[in-house]
Structure 1
Amino acid sequence: MLDNKVDCPEAGAVIQNIHDFIEATCIIRGDEERLIGRSDGGALKWLIDLRPLFLNPKMLEAIANVFWETNRTKLPFQVAGLEVAAIPLLTAILMQGAKNSYDVSGLIIRKERKRYGRGRVIEGELNGNPIIVVDDIFNSGASMRKVFSILAAEGYHASSVFVLIDYRSSSGLRWTEENEVEISSIYTLSDFGMSIENSSKKYVKSAYKKAWSFRSNDGSPFSMVPKSAPVYSQGMVVFGTDKGTVICLDSSSGTIRWKVSLPNTGRKGIWSSACVHGEYVYIGAYNGNVYCFELRTGNEVWVNYACEWIGSSPICVPQLGLVYIGFEYEHPRTKGGIAALDMRTGTKRWEFPLSQYQHGSSIFFASGNAIITGTNDHNVISLDAESGAHKWTFETKRSVKYAPSIDNERGLVAFASYDKSIYVLDASTGVKRLEVQTDGLCYTSPLFSDGRLFCGSGDRRLYVVDVDNMRPIGRLDLKARVYASPRRLGGQIVVGTTGGVLYFIDEKSLDVIDQIQLPDAITNAIAIGEHGSFYVTTYMNDIHAFDLAEVK
């Protein structure tokens, strides 16, 4: 890893001119103008805003000249930049290269995959040449993590990074060491008489290493929502795709054990997460059918032609011999239902009718012998697990799209609602114990863990509740929407975001211990395997496996 300033005596005067422009135009002081911090809304002492520089054609041309003076001997290569800040710089470099008859092409890396048209995350054509990534500044390395993760998914590793200003932050230096990347900058903060306060935390290398990745080529970028989550069982990982395919992979290698393409599943395909019990896989599809497959072969055991569509995920209650799942009908009045099917035959035992399409899934409350489900009828209901008889209803202001969670020890049920609230109820009676309001719609299942509740929100935060004292104790800013349901792994809470970052949070201190960047949004919970391994899907139906590299 190299982290250095460009050495270009030929461009000394140009570099000084750019410096003077930045000093005069792009550095804003807190005593001159109110500056608001991104993380907490507090006041900033200073801010570097390079947009005036990038909107000045003479300055852009000057920066492009410095780039070519320092990089032309490295040809052939491609130049890549992350939207939006790097695009003017990338364009200027390409145009100046064309003036000098350099054969170079560009790549624009999107922060989020385009949701329609070609659905690309990389604009431009990868041609096999080395890649130089350009950007305005290099600070924590978060932007570079995104770029390098997206390139890695295509089988590429950038050779170097060129930036105007390197902040020389501890997190940025750590990233360059981990990835063995050369960072070349025109300036550092010290060139402008400034510095940042680096973290005093001791750096701990990530405990996880990627074991394998599997690209399904089945994902649709149109809907960035929870889809079919991976399920681990007996050395296999099962999940569904947007094209209506059920895929079973070998958990150690990522090779396909079997795959089944289901007919007539429409645009959404399979958003239902499988339930695996023993040697059988249960799953619903948007063709309105519930399926049971053999886990080891993918052979169909039974199919229930239930309704028009199924987006709900099944849950199995083997002591009752039943599997529970939501139905959606093209009926004018009764558009949904919650049904219990015989696990062995798929025969319907009972169904509770609902007025709206049933997207939500159920949870089994063992001590109450009940299933509890959120609905699009703007409520959560409890039904007798054996008969389907109604026990209680709790009204919400909007739909509850994802399954509740149960704390059997305390007799509590928690769920997240589209009305932007997280609720905790008495599971036996439906009486509200706590409501935590958020600033975004909630599309996830909470997690009870050791007296605490963890739940994400569309407002980009992970909320933490002390359920013994029924009070909120944390609100962690994860910088992107949190639709993935959290899981507990080795004393840490693991949760993904639509920014493609998987966070590892200490269960007690709530400190972020580790993070892994993936190329696309994470909207589902991880599946936990054996010996510390786990499996995570992106909303594009690609799956990545990680193993424990070392004990922290």
Structure 2
Amino acid sequence: MNYRVVLCLTLASISITAFADWPRFRGPNGAGVSDTTTIPTKWTDEDYNWRIDLPGEGHGSPVVVGNNIFVLCGDPFTAARRVVCINSDDGKIRWVKSFKSKLHYIHRLNNYASSTPAADNDGVVTIWTTPKTFVVTALNNDGEQLWQRDLGEYKSAWGGSPSPIIVDDMVIIQNDQMNPEFMKNFLPEGVPVTEAGHSYAVALDRSTGETRWMVDRESIIASYATPCIRELPNDEKELVIVGAYNGMTGIDVKTGKVNWLAEDTFPNRTVMSPVLAGDLIVGSSGLGTVGDRLVAVRPPDEKNDSAEVAYRIKKSIPLVPTAVYKDGLIFLTSENGAVSCVDAETGEYVWRERTGGKFLGSPILIDGRLFCTDRRGDIFVLAAGKTFELLARNSLGDDSYATPAVANGSMYIRTLTQLMSIGGEK
């Protein structure tokens, strides 16, 4: 089986299964795609299945396995973290597991709960950080702690938000930190600048938390991207990660061996997660809240032994929101309200428009429509095609930095302080 067929089958399986579980940031393999047909385009407050207040604030997104929804919350006054499990059927909170922490500096657009959990049939894995700690916790479906690891100090000028993924019997984490030369340019006066953090990608045993492998990386600028998986022949899997000055990297999931590296791709901070786009993989970089380039990389295949950059584009590029790929098109939303459609093969713009939104949550594609969450609390719904069409604008009534989850025929939307459910069979 060749690489093209494997990638096409992978994307097809993502599309078919996305309406079942949504186990990580942006659902299966981070694609942000669902074929669910029971999500409305336009709705009012009366249309919500349920809407609840959460025990804390958060920018991290919900994940769903079965009828369990998991979210991470942070207390803005104490920095305590709370892992919350909610019944997707009725919105009732099943349990809350609380962990003490200490107040520390974070960027004004960050939050004590910006990380998205990862879940499977055995429970949930979460991450939270302080300048002195990088805490990974595994809980079962009853909220009982299975294991916890502190992976050490976390150095970043913005605070933490790395999100784990679960691959087979491993929890995989990308942890790119900063060096002091970069930190001092971004930290406010009075916040101490210390030595460089330890950057790495690591695989932990899902059952015990023990380290299976670790790949050291250079510490330049912190990365907040969440990895994706590339399926290879012979049932092999490759972890794809992106990072400033570390480029785009393919790592063997089982062994941690670095298979390939596309250098000179991302000169600045990477927040957008890598996305499979046909035969290509796309990522972006930037500074502040502005993306400076989108890079499409062609990974090694049967014809080429090394990765190569297929194209770069530099207009209307997101720094934070992750792209969506579908049927040869890449859809982008950016912090300044620009929305774009790009031909995935050539990198040429199909259309570029402005909506008036300020997007930090990532768009998701549901049944031919893009759902784009504005941080001021609106969801813009666009047609996911070769012509720009704004279909609806729905108010959430609260700020939102998270990306919705789709499972069980419903969409679960997290605002700063609430969680709500819309859609499903009526």
Structure 2 length-normalised TM: 0.72
Q: Is the 8 A contact 1:378 1:399 kept in 2?
A: no
Using the TM superposition, give the Cα deviation of residue 402 of structure 1 relative to its aligned residue in structure 2, in angstroms.
3.3
* Cα distance in structure 1, aligned partners of 2:317 and 2:388: 21
* Cα distance in structure 2, aligned partners of 1:327 and 1:234: 29
**Correspondence list, 1:206-217, <5 A:** 206=42, 209-216=47-54
Is 1:397 aligned to 2:296, yes or no? no
Is 1:314 aligned to 2:198, yes or no? no
Question: For residues 289 and 339 of structure 1, do their structure 2 counterparts lie closer, same or farther at Cα, with a shift above 3 Å needed?
Answer: same
Using the TM superposition, give the Cα deviation of residue 512 of structure 1 relative to its aligned residue in structure 2, in angstroms.
1.8
1:513 — aligned with what?
A: 391
* Cα distance in structure 2, aligned partners of 1:370 and 1:458: 30
2:82 — aligned with what?
A: 245
1:546 — aligned with what?
A: 422
Q: Is the 8 A contact 1:491 1:506 kept in 2?
A: yes
Which structure carries more relative contact order (alpha carbon 8 Å, separation 6+)?
2
* Cα distance in structure 1, aligned partners of 2:254 and 2:207: 16
1:299 — aligned with what?
A: 144
* Cα distance in structure 2, aligned partners of 1:472 and 1:438: 9
Q: Is the 8 A contact 1:246 1:259 kept in 2?
A: yes
Is 1:288 aligned to 2:125, yes or no? no
Q: What is the letter of the counterpart of residue 271 of structure 1?
A: S
* Unpaired runs of at least 5, structure 2: 1-39, 76-80, 105-110, 155-159, 179-193, 301-305
Q: Is the 8 A contact 2:162 2:225 kept in 1?
A: yes
Q: What is the letter of the counterpart of residue 299 of structure 2?
A: A
**Correspondence list, 1:131-150, <5 A:** none
- Please give the per-residue CA displacement for 1:185-232, whole angstroms capped at 9, x wherever unaligned: xxxxxxxxxxxxxxxxxxx98367212222225227xxxxxx311112
Is 1:371 aligned to 2:239, yes or no? yes
- Normalized per residue, which structure has more helix? 1
Number of residue equivalences:
334
Is 1:380 aligned to 2:248, yes or no? yes
Using the TM superposition, give the Cα deviation of residue 303 of structure 1 relative to its aligned residue in structure 2, in angstroms.
1.2
Using the TM superposition, give the Cα deviation of residue 328 of structure 1 relative to its aligned residue in structure 2, in angstroms.
6.3
**Correspondence list, 1:121-520, <5 A:** 206=42, 209-216=47-54, 218-219=56-57, 227-243=59-75, 244-264=81-101, 266-267=103-104, 268-286=111-129, 287-294=133-140, 296-309=141-154, 311-318=161-168, 321-327=169-175, 332-354=195-217, 355-356=219-220, 357-367=222-232, 369-377=237-245, 379-390=247-258, 391-395=260-264, 396-407=266-277, 410-418=278-286, 419-428=291-300, 429-439=306-316, 442-508=319-385, 509-520=387-398
* Cα distance in structure 1, aligned partners of 2:316 and 2:328: 24
Q: Is the 8 A contact 1:308 1:328 kept in 2?
A: no
* Cα distance in structure 1, aligned partners of 2:425 and 2:293: 38
Using the TM superposition, give the Cα deviation of residue 260 of structure 1 relative to its aligned residue in structure 2, in angstroms.
1.0
- The share of aligned pairs that are identical, in percent, is 16
- Please give the per-residue CA displacement for 1:465-511, whole angstroms capped at 9, x wherever unaligned: 12144321122312122221111212211111123211221222431
Question: For residues 541 and 388 of structure 1, do their structure 2 counterparts lie closer, same or farther at Cα, with a shift above 3 Å needed?
Answer: farther
* Cα distance in structure 1, aligned partners of 2:41 and 2:57: 32
* Cα distance in structure 2, aligned partners of 1:272 and 1:541: 15
Q: Is the 8 A contact 2:405 2:412 kept in 1?
A: yes
* Cα distance in structure 2, aligned partners of 1:433 and 1:235: 41
Q: What is the letter of the counterpart of residue 49 of structure 2?
A: A
* Unpaired runs of at least 5, structure 1: 1-203, 221-226
Q: Is the 8 A contact 2:136 2:150 kept in 1?
A: yes
- Normalized per residue, which structure has more strand? 2
* Cα distance in structure 1, aligned partners of 2:240 and 2:67: 30
Q: Is the 8 A contact 1:494 1:502 kept in 2?
A: yes
Question: For residues 372 and 530 of structure 1, do their structure 2 counterparts lie closer, same or farther at Cα, with a shift above 3 Å needed?
Answer: same
* Cα distance in structure 1, aligned partners of 2:340 and 2:397: 25
Using the TM superposition, give the Cα deviation of residue 282 of structure 1 relative to its aligned residue in structure 2, in angstroms.
1.4
- Please give the per-residue CA displacement for 1:361-416, whole angstroms capped at 9, x wherever unaligned: 21111227321112244633222222222321333221112321123xx3221122
* Cα distance in structure 2, aligned partners of 1:313 and 1:417: 18
Using the TM superposition, give the Cα deviation of residue 536 of structure 1 relative to its aligned residue in structure 2, in angstroms.
1.0
Using the TM superposition, give the Cα deviation of residue 535 of structure 1 relative to its aligned residue in structure 2, in angstroms.
0.8
Q: What is the letter of the counterpart of residue 336 of structure 1?
A: S
Using the TM superposition, give the Cα deviation of residue 529 of structure 1 relative to its aligned residue in structure 2, in angstroms.
1.9
Structure 1 length-normalised TM: 0.56
SS in structure 2 at match of 1:247: strand
1:180 — aligned with what?
A: none
- Please give the per-residue CA displacement for 1:336-372, whole angstroms capped at 9, x wherever unaligned: 2211111121111122223144433211112273211
* Cα distance in structure 2, aligned partners of 1:392 and 1:288: 26
Q: What is the letter of the counterpart of residue 326 of structure 1?
A: Q
Using the TM superposition, give the Cα deviation of residue 252 of structure 1 relative to its aligned residue in structure 2, in angstroms.
2.0
Using the TM superposition, give the Cα deviation of residue 334 of structure 1 relative to its aligned residue in structure 2, in angstroms.
4.7
Q: What is the letter of the counterpart of residue 362 of structure 2?
A: S
SS in structure 1 at match of 2:263: strand
1:147 — aligned with what?
A: none
Q: Is the 8 A contact 1:379 1:398 kept in 2?
A: no
SS in structure 1 at match of 2:74: coil
Question: For residues 259 and 345 of structure 1, do their structure 2 counterparts lie closer, same or farther at Cα, with a shift above 3 Å needed?
Answer: same
Q: What is the letter of the counterpart of residue 42 of structure 2?
A: S
What do you get for the CA RMSD once the two structures are aligned?
Answer: 2.5
* Cα distance in structure 2, aligned partners of 1:482 and 1:341: 33
* Cα distance in structure 1, aligned partners of 2:250 and 2:41: 46
Q: What is the letter of the counterpart of residue 530 of structure 1?
A: N
